[in-house]
A and B are shown apart, each in its own frame.
Chain A
């Protein structure tokens, strides 16, 4: 798997740099697409609003990744993107993208791969939909730690990521703490026993596929 992080760096000159405060909406689900973005610094949360009004976190965009690729060619955005920290982004319009196509043909494949990665994130959610919550939590936790090293852990937002209640998350976190699989300190979460967590994640894994493929290691 080609690591997708930072692959878009050579093309930043075609975009427009924007600085956003924490908690700013970059685009809304259903809004007519106006282009896509590159996250240079900061953090962005991608959410999907269900018809019943529940909010499901699709992922936290790691630095060096694109977001909103599905808003190319005026397609409506599939999700909502909100900054969770002060962030620096580069914004690419359709016109900018056309220019990139013309001048940098290899960017086309990189863009397609990035879009396909987003497809796989949705497929990942579907794979885990009906599995036990503990298994889902193990997967998303391993992934978050691998992509971000250390991050402030908030049970409420993690519950939204997994698609369950905060109480359920708390119960399992306490259990894992006791079993020394993880350690909580200063609002950060550290994995102490990754192989055990992966074991929980991979139960009945016949059809789960290569989960490590979905993770974007730090460089």
Chain B
């Protein structure tokens, strides 16, 4: 199966020299819910989960960020972050301040398209959460996989079961059982520590049943 990994946000690579390179160990907070947004990040290496805690204190994982994606763009209006981003693996990020962004956008206007795409993608994730605010565990896993599929337009999901468990907050056993069931139903396949979504529509239908 052909993986089309070169989507819009990968083009952001051309602009990394305007950002500040940062290395972060796993389990570190990149930005926290309530912090005032001062800029955004590009993930070069590693893995990050984006989560939010509701007023009743319940934790909700909204998204996971893979290398080549932007994060934190949604707080560029210099208001409080709605989510918290935490590194799941040791990660390399590039940070762009609001001023860097303003400079960049005058030099390279097309960059706005990358930014708006990233914001719109996050809006789709929120809309989906509103649709399914009482997600079952299976739906949570499927939602994470489908988000990656949509953003990268790739059937190949570069995540291990352990990554999935860490990102969703589910146990490894639950993740293992769910994926095994999906494999038997031929919804997904796995090889070399990666998943393949064999049929996104089937998976989606399964999610919304």
Contact = CB atoms under 8 A, between A and B. Distances in A.
A109 B102 contact: yes
Interface stretch (A8-16, A113-121, A148-156, A187-195): A113-121
Nearest to A209: B80
Given A108-B112, A127-B54, A75 B129 contact: no
B202 interface: no
9 contacts: A48-B131, A56-B130, A102-B109, A112-B112, A116-B76, A204-B55, A207-B53, A207-B55, A210-B80
Nearest to B78: A1
B131 A50 contact: yes
Nearest to B126: A122
B169 to A, nearest CB: 17
Contacts, number: 114
A142 interface: no
Interface residues of A, number: 42
B132 interface: yes
B154 interface: no
Contacts of A131: 55-56
A88 interface: no
A32 to B, nearest CB: 13
A109 to B, nearest CB: 7
A123 interface: yes
B161 interface: no
Interface in B192-209: 208
Interface string A189-207: 0000000000000001111
Interface in B97-152: 102, 105-106, 109, 112-113, 115-117, 119-120, 122-124, 126-127, 129-133
B74 A129 contact: no
Given A78-B127, A120-B79, A209 B34 contact: yes
Nearest to A202: B55
A4 B89 CA distance: 38
A125 interface: yes
B55 A125 contact: no
B52 interface: yes
Chain A CB within 10 Å, residue with most, of B33, B113, B124, B127:
B127
Contacts of B102: 109
Contacts of A204: 55-56
Contacts of A51: 131-132, 208
Contact of A105 (B55, B106, B119, B120): B106
A70 B82 contact: no
Contact of A119 (B34, B109, B117, B126): B126
A86 B115 CA distance: 34
A206 B56 CA distance: 9
Contacts of A210: 79-80
A74 to B, nearest CB: 11
Contact of B130 (A109, A129, A207, A208): A129
